[in-house]
Chain A
Amino acid sequence: MARRTKRIRVTVNGERYEKEVSPSKSLLDFLRMDLNLTGTKEGCGEGECGACSIIMNGKLVDSCLILTVEADGQKIQTIEGISRHDRLHPLQKAFAEKGAAQCGYCTPGMIMAAKYLLDHNPSPTAEQVLKAIAGNLCRCTGYGSIVDAVLSAAKER
């Protein structure tokens, strides 16, 4: 069968892209393969682990369960877009200092989830942090240091 493609326009981390994509390609694959933004990870491809979390039009979403064509006309932010050059986002700094990243594979998604929380609730409680990252699995830290990091970043901001 002939392969159909669709033309989409999308803004990722402030850069505008216009690309031909297959309608069945996931947004995660598009970011990682077509744009080489490999900071966003695949952990399950089923919307259970949150490693592929990005912010699209202001909402935290799992990019593995979105088709690239659905992102037409949308604004996307990935882990690569939250720091500029050597200026780290307070969350990135806090994750580094508090030991909130061990293997680091869940970290980009985790930071995006935390950023989404702080964007909406600048001074969360520990419980709110736990809820906000409930869709992001971490197998290394046991989550305590992540909560510490998010609370510390909230104070910094």
Chain B
Amino acid sequence: MKGIDYFAPPRLEEAVSLLRRYGKKAALMAGGTDFLLRLERGLVQPGVIVDLKKIRDLRGIKSNRAGLKIGAATLMDEIASSHLIQTRYGILAKGAAAVGSIQTRNRATLGGNLCNASPAADTASPLIALGGRARIAGAKRVREVPLEEFFLGPGKSCLQPNEILKEIFIPSPVQRSAGSFQRCTRTAMDIALVNCAVFLSLASKGGVVQDIRIVLGAVAPTPVRVQAAEDVLRGKNPDEKTIEEAADCAAAGVRPIDDVRSSASYRRAMVRVLTKRAIEEALREAGGEA
């Protein structure tokens, strides 16, 4: 850890040019709650830390007719306690509220949570379910990537060496839509063994599912959509049997591993339980009535 240099540029362009100047030696940091752990454990050994917190453009929650923009360096607690997000994009607020303690949420940022690319990230599943898109700033331009394509593997995102995640865009939810975020943990304060976000919309009348996204965390190298399970429900007015079929389908469609926190088979069982719960809750919320 000796001889590390530190920059906290006030503008995004400066951060990008620092990345260009230092190349592989440079590491980006936002809240630092995850980065500093890895630094302490020697898992990253950067020569230069580029702190993104001072960049105004990376902060804040803005909404318009098209949808919601959240700056990558926006604090987890700001997201969890934003009235707008709680009411319009509730599953994201719930995901953000599940990240660590209040101490952590007061430092950790949305961008940090996503760029760490942990398969268990509690904001990733809700954002994918909501159809979120990552806006990524490079040297020349800003590109946009659907969040489900953002993650490549544990700790690996699609960010190129000179790129910085700028903001997340979430399209406005359509009429009669709702979601649910579920997680399973060992104790109350815990990383998710499995998380599940469902977001669905119903046809203008009745209980037919028009569109649905089911996203699972911590059961594959990246957060994953289980489209086969979505297909079970799309275009149907689901009864209990259909929901169970979808949950079974989700459980069959994931690739969990055994680790110190849980066995793969328990994770798979929890995928089934959480998916079912999430679909049921989302349907209830979207229909306005159970």
Contact = CB atoms under 8 A, between A and B. Distances in A.
A–B contact (CB under 8 angstroms): yes
Interface of A: 1-4, 6, 22-24, 26, 45-47, 50, 53, 59-62, 65-67, 69-70, 72, 113, 116, 131-132, 134-136
Contact of B106 (A60, A70, A72, A134): A60
B254 interface: no
Contacts of B4: 4, 22-24
Contact of A67 (B32, B104, B106, B189): B32
Find the residue from B77, B100, B107 having the highest chain A CB count within 10 A: B107
5 contacts: A46-B37, A62-B104, A66-B32, A135-B103, A136-B101
Contacts of B39: 24
Interface residues of B, number: 26
B37 A61 contact: no
Contacts of B232: none
Interface of B: 1-6, 8, 32-33, 36-37, 39-40, 49, 51, 53, 77, 100-104, 106-107, 188-189
Contacts of A131: 102
B1 A47 contact: no
Given A6-B6, A67-B6, 19 more contacts: A1-B2, A1-B3, A2-B3, A4-B3, A23-B49, A24-B2, A24-B39, A46-B37, A47-B37, A59-B77, A59-B106, A61-B103, A62-B104, A66-B36, A66-B107, A69-B6, A113-B102, A116-B102, A135-B102
B6 A3 contact: no
B27 to A, nearest CB: 12
Contacts of B53: 70
Contacts of A4: 3-5
B107 A62 contact: yes
Contacts of A3: 2-3
Contacts of A135: 100-104, 189
Given A47-B37, A65-B32, A66-B32, A23 B103 contact: no
A47 B33 contact: yes
A65 B107 CA distance: 9
Contacts of A24: 1-2, 4, 39
Given A66-B32, A134-B189, A61 B2 contact: no
B51 A70 contact: yes
Nearest to A2: B3
Given A47-B103, A61-B107, A134 B188 contact: yes
A72 B51 CA distance: 12
A23 B106 CA distance: 21
